[in-house]
Chains A and B, each alone.
Chain A
Amino acid sequence: MNFDDTPQEAEFRSQARAWIAANAPTQYEEELRKSSLGRTQLKNADILEVAKAWQKKKADAGWACLHWPKEYGGRGSSPIERVIWQQEEGPFGKLSHMFIIGHGMCGPTMMAFAREEHKRKYLPPLASGEKVWCQLFSEPAGGSDVAGLRTRAEKDGDEWVINGQKIWTSGAHYSDYGILLTRTDPTVPKHKGLTMFFLDMKSPGVEVRPIKQASGASDFNEVYFTNVRIPDHQRLGEVNDGWNVSLTTLMNERMSIGAGVATGFPELFDYCSGLMLEDGPAIENAAVRSKLANWAVKASGLKYTSMRAISALSKGERPGPENSIGKLVAGSMIQDVAAYALDLQGAGVISGSEDAEVAGRFQAMLLRAPGTRVEGGTDEIMRNIIAERVLGLPGDIRVDKDVPFNKIPTKGR
Chain B
Amino acid sequence: MNFDFSDDQKQLRDQARKFLTEKCSPKAVRVVLDGKAPYDSELWKGLADMGFLGVAIPEEFGGAGAGHLELCVIAEEMGRANAPVPFSSTVYLAAEALLIAGSDAQKKKWLPAIASGEAIGTLALFEGKGNPSPKSIKVAASNGVLNGVKKPVADGAIADFAVVAARTGTSGRDSDISLFLVDLRGGGVEVKNLTNLDPTRGQAEITFKDCKAEPLGAPGEGWSILTQVLDRAAVLCAFEQVGGADRALEMGRDYALDRIAFGRQIGSFQAVKHMLADMYVSATLARSNSYYGAWALSTDAAELPEAAAAARISATQAFQHCAKNNIQVHGGMGFTWEFDCHMYYRRANAMALGLGSLTYWEDQLIDRMRKKNAA
Q: Does B associate with A?
A: yes
Task: For the complex formed, measure the closest distance between the CB of B374 and the CB atoms of chain A, giving whole angstroms.
Answer: 9
Q: Among B278, B280, B299, B363, which residue has its beta carbon within 8 angstroms of that of A390?
A: B280
Chain B residues with CB under 8 Å of A387's CB are: 267, 273-274, 276-277, 280
Question: Assuming A2-B295, A3-B3, A308-B4, is B276 touching A391 (CB within 8 A)?
Answer: yes
Determine whether B120 belongs to the interface, using a CB cutoff of 8 Å to chain A: no
Chain A residues with CB under 8 Å of B267's CB are: 387, 393-394
B280 lies within 8 A of A386 (CB):
yes
Determine whether B362 belongs to the interface, using a CB cutoff of 8 Å to chain A: yes
B285 lies within 8 A of A329 (CB):
yes
Determine whether B2 belongs to the interface, using a CB cutoff of 8 Å to chain A: yes
Determine whether A51 belongs to the interface, using a CB cutoff of 8 Å to chain B: no
In this complex, what residue of A is CB-closest to B4?
A311
Determine whether B50 belongs to the interface, using a CB cutoff of 8 Å to chain A: no
Range class of the B interface residue count:
35 or more
User: A205 to B313, alpha carbons, bound, how many Å?
Assistant: 57
User: A285 to B168, alpha carbons, bound, how many Å?
Assistant: 32
- Stretch of B52-60, B199-207, B286-294 at the chain-chain interface: B286-294
Q: Among B5, B264, B278, B289, which residue has its beta carbon within 8 angstroms of that of A383?
A: B278
> Which of B6, B264, B270, B299 has the most chain A CB atoms inside 10 A of its CB?
B270
Question: Assuming A391-B276, A396-B268, is B370 touching A329 (CB within 8 A)?
Answer: no
Task: For the complex formed, measure the closest distance between the CB of B235 and the CB atoms of chain A, giving whole angstroms.
Answer: 12
Chain B residues with CB under 8 Å of A307's CB are: 1, 3, 288
Chain B residues with CB under 8 Å of A297's CB are: 285, 289, 310, 313-314, 317, 365
A294 lies within 8 A of B1 (CB):
no
Determine whether A1 belongs to the interface, using a CB cutoff of 8 Å to chain B: yes
User: A217 to B299, alpha carbons, bound, how many Å?
Assistant: 48
B365 lies within 8 A of A296 (CB):
yes
Task: For the complex formed, measure the closest distance between the CB of A111 and the CB atoms of chain B, giving whole angstroms.
Answer: 26
In this complex, what residue of A is CB-closest to B280?
A386
Residue-wise interface mask of A (132-161) relative to B, using a CB-CB cutoff of 8 A (1 in contact, 0 not): 000000000000000000000000000000
Question: Assuming A311-B3, A397-B268, is B362 touching A289 (CB within 8 A)?
Answer: yes
B1 lies within 8 A of A5 (CB):
yes
In this complex, what residue of A is CB-closest to B298?
A1
Determine whether A339 belongs to the interface, using a CB cutoff of 8 Å to chain B: no
Determine whether B373 belongs to the interface, using a CB cutoff of 8 Å to chain A: yes
User: A30 to B267, alpha carbons, bound, how many Å?
Assistant: 50
Task: For the complex formed, measure the closest distance between the CB of A167 and the CB atoms of chain B, giving whole angstroms.
Answer: 25
Chain B residues with CB under 8 Å of A305's CB are: 284-285, 288
Chain B residues with CB under 8 Å of A269's CB are: 369, 373
Residue-wise interface mask of A (1-28) relative to B, using a CB-CB cutoff of 8 A (1 in contact, 0 not): 1111100010000000000000000000
Q: How many residues of A contact B (CB 8 A)?
A: 52
In this complex, what residue of B is CB-closest to A385?
B277
Chain B residues with CB under 8 Å of A391's CB are: 249, 253, 276-277, 280
In this complex, what residue of A is CB-closest to B289?
A301
B268 lies within 8 A of A294 (CB):
no
Chain A residues with CB under 8 Å of B265's CB are: 394
Chain B residues with CB under 8 Å of A296's CB are: 310, 365-366, 369
Q: Among B3, B6, B278, B362, which residue has its beta carbon within 8 angstroms of that of A308?
A: B3
A386 lies within 8 A of B4 (CB):
no
User: A327 to B6, alpha carbons, bound, how many Å?
Assistant: 28
B362 lies within 8 A of A294 (CB):
yes
Chain B residues with CB under 8 Å of A294's CB are: 313, 317, 362
Determine whether A201 belongs to the interface, using a CB cutoff of 8 Å to chain B: no
Determine whether A322 belongs to the interface, using a CB cutoff of 8 Å to chain B: yes
Chain A residues with CB under 8 Å of B270's CB are: 380, 383-384, 396
User: A2 to B284, alpha carbons, bound, how many Å?
Assistant: 19
B273 lies within 8 A of A80 (CB):
no
Chain B residues with CB under 8 Å of A75's CB are: none
Determine whether B25 belongs to the interface, using a CB cutoff of 8 Å to chain A: no
A4 lies within 8 A of B1 (CB):
yes
> Which of B277, B285, B310, B362 has the most chain A CB atoms inside 10 A of its CB?
B277
Question: Assuming A329-B281, A394-B265, A397-B268, is B3 touching A293 (CB within 8 A)?
Answer: no
Residue-wise interface mask of A (285-312) relative to B, using a CB-CB cutoff of 8 A (1 in contact, 0 not): 0100110111011101111110110111
Determine whether B256 belongs to the interface, using a CB cutoff of 8 Å to chain A: yes
B294 lies within 8 A of A1 (CB):
yes
Task: For the complex formed, measure the closest distance between the CB of B321 and the CB atoms of chain A, giving whole angstroms.
Answer: 12
Within 8 A of A (CB), among B341-375: 359, 361-363, 365-366, 369-370, 373
Task: For the complex formed, measure the closest distance between the CB of B168 and the CB atoms of chain A, giving whole angstroms.
Answer: 30
